[in-house]
Amino acid sequence: MNLAASHNVRKVFTNTSWLASEKLIIMAISLIVSVYLARELGPSSWGKLNYLLALVSLMGPVASLGLNAIITRELVNEPDAIDKIMVTALVFRLVAGLVGAVLCVALAVLLVGGQTKEFALLLMLLLSSLFNSGKVVEYWFQARMENKYVSVLRVGVRLFFASAKVLTVALGAEFWLLVLVFSLEFAVLGLAYIGLYYGRGGVLKFGLFDFSYGLKLIKQSFWLILSSVASVIYLKIDQVMLASMKSDVAVGIYAVAVRLSEVWFFFPVAFTAAVFPVLLASRTAKPRRYQQQLQITCDLLLYGALALTLCVIAVAPFFVTLLFGDAYADSASVLHIHVLGLSFVFMRALVSKWLIAESLLRFSLWSEGLGAVSNVALNLLLIPVYGYWGAAWATVIAYSLSCYFCFWVFAETRPIAKVMTRSILLPINWRKPYRRVVNETVS
């Protein structure tokens, strides 16, 4: 390996380490703050807060326009057009954020009407979230492999506002002031991105805005936008529907279970990101090894998820009440249900990489869309009868459909469905060596 290649490998490793460390730190901060706020606010106010944040999160995919990876690619491939790319992406994302905010307001009016106090708080959150358009700066740093600056910035902002949230509640401030702190966090983080960009020598030259170039980027990201919208719908719509069909208390109890279940989602993403280059290297050079590596990776993900599921189920009754208090006792039983989806989510992390490797990204949209539609339909059926337990079952069934069963429908995706099935049947076929499985797949 020459000196330049060795330097690039070190930069990639360093940037990956910064991002992974940042994720773990922010995840820990978020969990600690969630525990404190949930205990102090009680299920009703905690549920109201999560309902508002869930509604705001629905505008995220619309505001981002699916441009994240595309912006990084453009910055790398066209270094002479950096100013045009940055300004155009920033303006388009700001306009898309406004469109997303209008859609969220329309959804809120449809579900709960526009005359409540929560509606005014939602407007405040939506307006401040427009500053998220500044996140476009992150992809400039990614293209330069300087992720550490963004990571340090985000951790610093998150720590500051985590302290502000805790202090606001500790001082007994009114609920709207806590929502204001969340709003300020959105705004400050977006402005901090822009400040960091200028601090590292970047300049936003708005005279270089190119409308036709922006439209070209959106055409490339169209399917990614739809896939992201579908994904966030089936991840967040349950809390929105619980609020409209039941109560804030129901959302509060359910939100605790969701936080403790989804906290594990980071691990399969990180694991498959580390394995992905190895899979890509084997895919064309050594197909048999590629099949073997796919199978082993899927086995590890599935049985790692099962081990986590059993541990969570075992400790949930004690752990939930210890952290959140007796008011959230029902969250343990909701968690028992919701955590059953971990196995499907963990395997889906591998499927997502496989779809990229096989150039089958269109099936990502189909699967995410099925998850969104099935989750909404099941919530409509189950929430009125079973409340938050029904919402948990709706999510688990939607995970199973979008992460596993749907891949049996299309001939192109059946190979990965077979890999997942072999993992599921491993306890029955544990004597069969991987070599024979691979021979059957390749032949």
Give residue for tokens 């619309």: 62
Residue 243, Cα to own-chain centre: how many angstroms?
Answer: 21
Residue 234 vs residue 251, higher pLDDT: 251
Provide the sign of the torsion angle of the four alpha carbons 236, 240, 246, 248, taken in this order: positive
Percent of the chain topping pLDDT 70? 89
Over range 282-302, report the average pLDDT. Answer: 85
- pLDDT of amino acid 312: 92
> How far is residue 295 from each of residues 148, 190, 264, 280, 303, measured CA to CA in Å?
34, 42, 22, 14, 12
Distance CA 232, CA 340 (A): 19
For residues 123-135, average pLDDT: 84
Closest CA to 198 of 147, 137, 132: 137
**Strands of 149-234, DSSP E:** none
Confidence check: pLDDT of 5 > 50? no
Query: What integer pLDDT is reported at residue 401 of this predicted model?
Result: 93
pLDDT tens digits for range 323-354? 898 899 999 999 999 999 999 999 998 998 88
**What pLDDT shows up at residue 430?**
60
Res. 239 pLDDT band, cuts 50 70 90: confident
Query: Does residue 76 carry a pLDDT above 90?
Result: no
| Average pLDDT rounded to a whole number, residues 184-192 | 91
- What gap in Å lies between CA 124 and CA 178, rounded to an integer? 12
Residue 77's CB is within 10 A of a number of other CB atoms, namely 10
260 touches 253 (CB < 8 A)? no
Phi and psi angles of residue 186, each rounded to the nearest 5 degrees, phi first? -60, -50
pLDDT per position as a tens digit, 204-232: 888 777 888 888 888 777 777 777 777 77
Mean pLDDT of 152-159: 91
User: What span, in angstroms and rounded, lies between the C-alpha atoms of 63 and 57?
Assistant: 10
Predicted local distance difference test score (pLDDT) of residue 113:
58
Q: How confident is the model at residue 3 (pLDDT cuts 50, 70, 90)?
A: very low
Q: What is the pLDDT of residue 16?
A: 64
Mean pLDDT score, 251-270: 87
What is the predicted pLDDT for the residue at 310? Answer: 95
Cβ contacts of residue 308 below 8 Å, gap of 6+? 264, 339, 342
What does the alpha-carbon distance between residue 164 and residue 382 come to, in Å, rounded to a whole number? 38
- Can you tell me the mean pLDDT for 264-286? 79
List Cα–Cα distances, 262 to 259, 328, 342, 345, in angstroms: 5, 17, 8, 10
Question: Per-residue pLDDT for 311 more than 90?
Answer: yes
**H and E: helices and strands count for the chain:** 17, 0
Residue 36 CA to residue 45 CA, distance in Å, equals: 13
Band (443; pLDDT cuts 50, 70, 90) = very low
Q: pLDDT-derived band of residue 114, with 50, 70 and 90 as boundaries?
A: low
Mean pLDDT of the chain: 83
In this structure, is the dihedral angle defined by the CA atoms of residues 424, 428, 432 and 437, taken in order, positive or negative? negative
Q: What local confidence, expressed as pLDDT, does residue 378 receive?
A: 94
Amino acid identity, residue 139? Y
Residue 249, pLDDT > 70, answer yes
Residue 313: pLDDT above 70? Answer: yes
Which one of 47-51, 130-134, 233-237 scores highest in mean pLDDT? 47-51
Would you state the pLDDT for residue 78? 77
pLDDT above 80 for 406: yes
- Within a 10 A sphere around the Cβ of 411, how many other Cβ atoms? 7
**pLDDT score, position 11:** 59
What does DSSP assign to residue 430?
T
Q: Tell me if 202 sits within 8 A of 140, measured CB to CB.
A: yes
User: What would the mean pLDDT of 160-176 be, rounded to a whole number?
Assistant: 93
Q: Do 93 and 64 touch, CB atoms closer than 8 A?
A: yes
- CA–CA distance, 353 with 374 (Å, rounded to integer): 23
Q: Pick from 178, 163, 158: which is nearest to 24 by CA?
A: 158
Is the separation of the CB atoms in 101 and 57 below 8 Å? Answer: no
